[in-house]
Amino acid sequence: MKNLFNYFKEILVGLWSLITGMEVTLRYMFKKPVTVQYPKEKLTMTKNFRGPIQFVLFDKTGSHDCIGCFLCAKACPTDCYTIEAAKTEGGQKRPTRFEYNVLQCSLCNLCVQVCPTKTLEHSRDYEAAAYSPDEYRAINFIEHVGKRATAQGMTSKLGKPVVEQEEKPAS
């Protein structure tokens, strides 16, 4: 008798667990899909996303605030900065050449931490791509990425080499 009781109990308990499972899937069915239709919709990365390094665009001056102190180049463990700086007419030191090699960069955040004028930041760009390492290196990450820069009329320089990049000092 007890066996018979257990037999039916097992069936009912099993059936109930099945129904619980089906309830879960039904609830999920009416949730919003988490998938993003990528080329049509794009996600914005969070603030602490570490993309390639770029200059901060200060609204006040309309430019970056690099003073050519070479601290980022010194802090960089992978040696990806090539910087030359000179004094301008106003007596302010500004970089005349600021090269950043993305392929060497380990996105370690040290240069951002060390920058005295807070003019370096990680961009939130995640879709920079090129057909060869040379082309990829030629993307001017320092200047182009981030929506703020493009909004100010600074367009992407995809494909254009940055060999001798003249930095205009803030007027």
Partner 1 sequence: MDMLLVMLKIGMYAAIVIGFITVNALFLVWMERKVSAKIQLRHGPMEVGWHGTFQTFADAIKLFGKELITPVNIDKVPYLLAPMLAMFPTILIFLVIPIGENLHILDLNVGVLYIFAFSALGVLSIFMAGYGSNNKYSMLGAVRGVAQSLAYEIPLLLSILGVIMICGTLNLKGIVMAQDNVWFVLYQPLAFVIFFISTLAETNRAPFDLPEAESEIIAGFHTEYSGIRFAMFFLSEYTHMFIVSALATILFLGGWNGPFLPEPVWFLLKVYFLIFMMMWIRFTFPRIRIDQLMTLGWKILIPLALVNLLVTGIVLKL
Q: Establish how many alpha carbons lie within 13 A of residue 94's alpha carbon, considering only the half-sphere containing its beta carbon.
A: 16
Q: Is 22 in the site for partner 1 (CB under 8 A)?
A: yes
Q: Given the complex with partner 1, which of 22 and 103 has the nearer CB atom?
A: 22
Shortest Å, Cβ 1 to partner 1: 16
Q: Given the complex with partner 1, which of 18 and 103 has the nearer CB atom?
A: 18
Q: Is 3 in the site for partner 1 (CB under 8 A)?
A: no
How distant, in Å, are the alpha carbons of 73, 78, 142, 168 from that of 162? 17, 19, 10, 14
Residues 66, 134: contact at Cβ < 8 Å? no
Q: Given the complex with partner 1, which of 4 and 129 has the nearer CB atom?
A: 4
Shortest Å, Cβ 37 to partner 1: 6
Interface with partner 1 (CB under 8 A), residue from 1, 29, 43, 163:
29
Contacts of 137 (CB under 8 A, 6+ apart): 101, 102, 103
Residue located via tokens 């049509």? 40
Interface with partner 1 (CB under 8 A), residue from 12, 16, 21, 49:
21
CA-to-CA distance for 92 and 89, rounded, in angstroms?
7
Q: What residue ranges bind partner 1 (CB under 8 A)?
A: 11, 18, 21-22, 24-26, 28-35, 37
